[in-house]
Every structure is written in structure tokens, then in C-alpha cells.
Homo-oligomer: A and B are copies of this chain.
Amino acid sequence: MKRKITLKQIAKELDVSVSTVSKALKDSREISIDTKDKVKAFAKLYNYKPNNIALSLKNRKTKTIGIIIPEIVHYFFTTVIQGIEHVANEKGYNVIICLSNNSFDKEVLNLEFLANGSTDGFILSVAKETQQKEDYHHINEVISQGMPVVMFDRVIDEVICDKVIISDKHGAFEAVQYLIDQSCKKIALISTVDYVSVGKLRTEGYQEALITNDIPINPELILKIEDVDHSEERIEAFFSDKDIDAVFAVNEKFAVNAIKALTKLGKKIPDDISVIGFTDGVVSKSFIPSLSTVNQHGEEMGAKAASLLIDRLEDKVHEQSFQTTVLNTSLIIRDSVKRKTDSL
């Protein structure tokens, strides 16, 4: 077992000082060619690599980005991470991921821990519980300590920092508008409870589309689900007595469960009822009928968040001006929607 070699050891072996070794390896011209060659050869032979921890301590920067997300077993977050990783690596940063599991306490712990020297800044999407509690002291705390934070997807208006979101409302609007354009009139909405910011925004988009088209909002056609794990039964019960011609669901799972429930009730998708979901995941693509969705472009989101953060870390941006980047969604129409032309 050959432990990693340090400057000190090289210095000792070669009978020079530590600073000489350090300088030689950096090709400083303070050092003679001879010594440089000698040192470099030796370093190479023993595969010397500087210790990151020591460098971090010295430079007071770690070159790592902390990501805190509610869950990882989730296609969308996974694509965001991919986007972050890509940009971060390109710019010489590493990425450390912590999961809040949607728990406020764990989010606080993670943030505090990582803020104590482990990372230079954060990219985060807050836990459901945090949105509910409306307690953001932990985030404001790290910001006030001078660590840049970029929020994405589930962002908090009250926290002042850079943000990357998609136009949830507009994405929902477009989807519902599309349904209306295909002559749908009785459009149900399956959403989450309102404290989940994206759920709320998507609900607003739905409502706005209806209003714009002079369709009255019928609260009977709106289902708000609290407990995602039992959404299937909820949705089934909900549909059992409804007369509808389309469904807009605020996530993939709800959309799939809607199709299943409707199929059970003897409805044909898309012939009897059209369905559009939000979030374009693996399931949407492979489902039969393949699911029409609002694509959130997670990777792009991650990439944008990472470059915003890194720009701040490298002081490429004015101290006080924070920006909220709104990324466009795009509507992907697949087989779960009955198109007007189809019926001709």
C-alpha cells in the first residue's frame, strides 16, 4: 500500500525545500531548469497529485457545487442533474448531491453541513415541506454568508437569488388551449395541493385557458391530490361520475393513472377522451397510447442553473442583480390526444 505522496515527502527525498518543489511543479521561473526537471520527474514517477482538501483550505474555495433536491428517483430531477453535471465538469467543478426526501429538517441539515466549507454554492429545489412551512431561514442564512444559491423548479419568491424556472403557467395554458383547439369542452384537471408552487401555477394556466376561451371553470372537474402514493384510487373515484372529453394532469404519474382509470371505466383514449400530462419522462414515451406532455427540458434547466451559479462564483456578474430565467416548455403531442384532423 503506497500512500499518496505529498510535497513534503518529495522535498525530503530530493533534499530541497517544500516551496521549491511547489514552485518547480508549477513551472515557476524562479526555479532552475535542472531542479525543475528533477522535481517533475520524481513527481511523475510517484504520481504526485495535489491534495484537494489542502487546496480548498488554502484557497477558500472548493470548486464543488452542492445540489439539494427533494428526491432522486425521479426522471425530471435526474435530467436536471445531468445538465448541471455537464456544465459543472466542463468548468472544472464537481458536484455533490444531497437529498432532502421532501423533509424540511433534512434540507436544513444538508444545507448547513455543506455550507461549512464543503461547497462554494448551491443549486436547489426546495422540499415540499419547506414550501408548506414557508420557513426559508436556512436558505437566507447561507446566502447572507456569501454563498451563491440558484433555485430551480420549486422556487421561493421571497428568497432573493437567481432562479431558473419553466413557464409552468404558460405550459399548462398551451396544453389546455391545444385541447380546446381540438374541440374539447369538458376538460378535467388533476393537480396537486396548492402549496406545491408548480401545481398551483399549472392550475392557474388551466383556468386561464378556459377563461380565455369563455369556458366556465367547473370546480367539479378539478381534483387536487395530496397523497401521491394513493393517487390511482383517488383518480378512479373522481372519474366515476364525471362527463368529460379531456384531461390535463400536472404530472406524468397522474396522467398515466388517469388513462388507466378511464380505460377501466370503459373509455377509449384518445377517441373518447384526450389526455395531456406535464413532464416528459420515460413512461410517457413508452406508454400505449404514448402520452402527450408538456416537456420541461430538465437538462437545459440544470445547465442554465449551473452556469448562473458558476458565473456568480467567478464574479462574472453584478453583485446585486439577480435574475429569474424562465425557460420555455414545449408541447409534445403524441397518441393520447385526439387531433381534430384525425376525426375528419
Contacts and interface: CB of A to CB of B under 8 A. Distances in A.
A54 B96 contact: no
Interface residues of A, number: 51
Contact of A98 (B4, B94, B144, B287): B94
Contacts of A81: 72, 97
Copies of this protein in the complex:
2
Interface string A70-83: 00111100110110
A50 B116 contact: yes
B4 A145 contact: yes
A292 to B, nearest CB: 16
Contacts of A49: 112, 115-116
A193 interface: no
Given A4-B145, A260-B288, A51 B117 contact: yes
A297 to B, nearest CB: 13
Interface string A288-301: 10000000000000
Interface stretch (A207-215, A278-286, A322-330): A278-286
A85 interface: yes
A57 interface: yes
A131 interface: no
A78 B4 CA distance: 32
Nearest to A141: B47
Contacts of A3: 145-146
Interface of A: 1-4, 47, 49-54, 56-57, 62, 64, 72-75, 78-79, 81-82, 85, 94-99, 112-118, 141, 144-146, 253, 256, 260, 263, 281-283, 286-288
Contact of A282 (B113, B116, B281): B281
Contacts of A75: 73, 75, 282
A96 B95 CA distance: 7
Contact of A287 (B62, B94, B118, B288): B288
Contacts of A145: 1-4
A2 B82 contact: no
B287 A286 contact: yes
A52 B4 CA distance: 21
Contacts of A98: 85, 94-95
A287 B286 CA distance: 8
A78 B99 CA distance: 12
A149 B106 CA distance: 27
Nearest to A50: B116
3 interchain residue pairs of minimum CB distance: A53-B117, A51-B117, A96-B96
Contacts of A74: 78
Nearest to A253: B286
Among A50, A113, A263, A281, the one with the most B-chain Cβ atoms within 10 Å of its Cβ is A113
Given A51-B116, A85-B99, A96-B97, 17 more contacts: A1-B144, A3-B146, A47-B141, A49-B116, A52-B116, A52-B117, A72-B78, A73-B79, A74-B78, A78-B78, A81-B97, A82-B99, A94-B113, A95-B96, A283-B287, A287-B288, A288-B288
A118 B94 contact: yes
